[in-house]
A and B are shown apart, each in its own frame.
Chain A
Amino acid sequence: MNVSGERTFAAPRSAVWGVLNDPASMAKTMPGVESFDIHDELRWTANVKIPLGLGGLKMKIDMAKTEERAPEYAQLNIKGQGVGAMLSMITSFELGDVDGGTLMKWAADVKLAGPVGSMGQRVLQPIVNQQVQHVLSALDREVQAAVAGGAA
């Protein structure tokens, strides 16, 4: 399934770019991260437990940056393997300056398979949207924190 959107951050592009490309702060934006290993600046792995109301969904998620044009565009290839599900996702974001901050245009092609899939599409799409919203608001916090940190 394809999801996409726009988000404006009240922060300079450099700050947003910094957060998006810092695995450590990205980790803080992901739902239910239990551990996080950085292999190099292009590849990192997270062990997450996506908090679904009916019991979390454990997944090992490998992320690889497949394309980068600092400080405006990056594409990530994300593969998740969990007991309940297989996740594969290609996501990209593009940053642009707008007055009052930075506009991020993002898009993701999400594929989910395995037993979770058998739960029915009716719940998957809303669940994905839910998690995306979670990531975006967390991102907002991280960006603000970075700006504050930078100011301090």
Chain B
Amino acid sequence: MLLREVGYARPGSLGEAIELLAADDGARALAGGQTLINVMKARAGSPDALVDLAGIEELRGIELGADGTLEIGAMTTYTELVASGEARARPIIGEVCAQIADVQVRNRGTIGGNLCTSDPTNHLPPLMAALGARMTIQGAGGERTVPASEFFLGVYMTAVAPGELLTKITVPAGRGDGFAAVTLGVEGTCIASAAASVDGGVTIALGCVDAIPVVLQPASTDDDAVREAVREANLDPPSDVHASSEYRTHLAEVLAVRAVNQARS
């Protein structure tokens, strides 16, 4: 419950934030804090300094391009995504965000934080992977864009290097999406999850079965093809108190089918 001593800064601009992060490899960006502060409470991780992104306007807002492309600022909260008219261009985003944790967490937690935390039980890594989102990362050296498929490197690890920030998530146009999960209690933590998109080919991203989302591209949307694709992935999910590796492997198959069927309907 009690944090180790930590430094804090609240920069007003992106440039300042990146400077502060680059100045100390022990510094971490503080977005909504709904994971980071808990980890610090457990003293399971202790940044030397927190760079609070709350004051940076550039990181907020949702824009819908003429071609239906969504550009979502990394500091956009789940609540903002649920309420956003623009975000309805890709309805699954609001639907899934509405299932994350609870009102309080949705009011503080951000899409950028959810992705950068890269906790295997998070909802958005598999969803963004399935939607083919692109992540814009900014550092001292400038800006680069990384596809979701290359963004996640491991638990709590992403392509965002020390001294860099995830600034924007770009989601291409589309509507044929689905998401299915078995959670701990109703709308609780994911035990296993699957996101699917059938816009231009079939893409499935499985959550909770590995450190990062497992992305699959089955031959078709048929149940059998989907099940086949999951089996061929030779998943070796972690076991924990909520699910054996065998159970998670099975759920991955069931949920992939459900996500694809939702995406088709």
Q: How far is the CA of A120 from the CA of B191 in the complex (A)?
A: 12
B116's closest neighbor in chain A, by CB? A53
User: When the two chains form the complex, which single residue of B47, B211, B241 contacts A54, counting CB atoms closer than 8 Å?
Assistant: B47
User: When the two chains form the complex, which single residue of B46, B117, B155, B241 contacts A130, counting CB atoms closer than 8 Å?
Assistant: B155
Determine, out of A38-46, A60-68, A87-95, A111-119, the stretch whose residues face the partner at the interface. A111-119
Chain B residues within an 8 Å CB radius of A129 = 211
A85 at the interface (CB under 8 A from B): yes
Are the C-beta atoms of B241 and A121 separated by less than 8 Å? yes
Are the C-beta atoms of B156 and A53 separated by less than 8 Å? yes
A150 at the interface (CB under 8 A from B): no
Determine, out of B32-40, B51-59, B69-77, the stretch whose residues face the partner at the interface. B32-40
Q: How far is the CA of A55 from the CA of B38 in the complex (A)?
A: 12
Chain B nearest CB, measured from A103 CB (Å)? 21
Q: How far is the CA of A119 from the CA of B157 in the complex (A)?
A: 16
Chain A residues within an 8 Å CB radius of B103 = none
Chain B residues within an 8 Å CB radius of A53 = 116-118, 154-158
Chain B nearest CB, measured from A80 CB (Å)? 14
User: When the two chains form the complex, which single residue of B39, B43, B46, B154 contacts A126, counting CB atoms closer than 8 Å?
Assistant: B154
Q: How far is the CA of A118 from the CA of B118 in the complex (A)?
A: 18
User: When the two chains form the complex, which single residue of A51, A115, A125, A126 contacts B44, counting CB atoms closer than 8 Å?
Assistant: A115
Q: How far is the CA of A85 from the CA of B4 in the complex (A)?
A: 15
Given known contacts A54-B28, A122-B120, is B47 in contact with A83 (CB within 8 Å)?
no
Q: How far is the CA of A51 from the CA of B117 in the complex (A)?
A: 13
Are the C-beta atoms of A56 and B42 separated by less than 8 Å? no
A127 at the interface (CB under 8 A from B): yes
B 135-192 contacts with A by CB, 8 A: 154-158
Chain B nearest CB, measured from A37 CB (Å)? 23
Are the C-beta atoms of B119 and A123 separated by less than 8 Å? yes
Given known contacts A53-B117, A55-B26, A83-B43, is B157 in contact with A120 (CB within 8 Å)?
no
Chain A residues within an 8 Å CB radius of B44 = 54, 57, 84-85, 115-116, 118-119
Are the C-beta atoms of B210 and A120 separated by less than 8 Å? no
Are the C-beta atoms of A122 and B208 separated by less than 8 Å? yes
B158's closest neighbor in chain A, by CB? A53
Q: How far is the CA of A57 from the CA of B242 in the complex (A)?
A: 26
Given known contacts A121-B238, A121-B241, A126-B211, is B43 in contact with A54 (CB within 8 Å)?
no
Enumerate chain B interface residues (CB-CB to A < 8 A): 4, 26, 28, 35-36, 39-40, 42-48, 116-121, 154-158, 208, 210-211, 238-242
User: Can you list 13 A-B contacts (CB < 8 A)?
Assistant: A52-B156, A53-B157, A54-B156, A57-B44, A84-B44, A115-B43, A115-B44, A118-B42, A119-B42, A123-B156, A126-B120, A126-B155, A130-B154
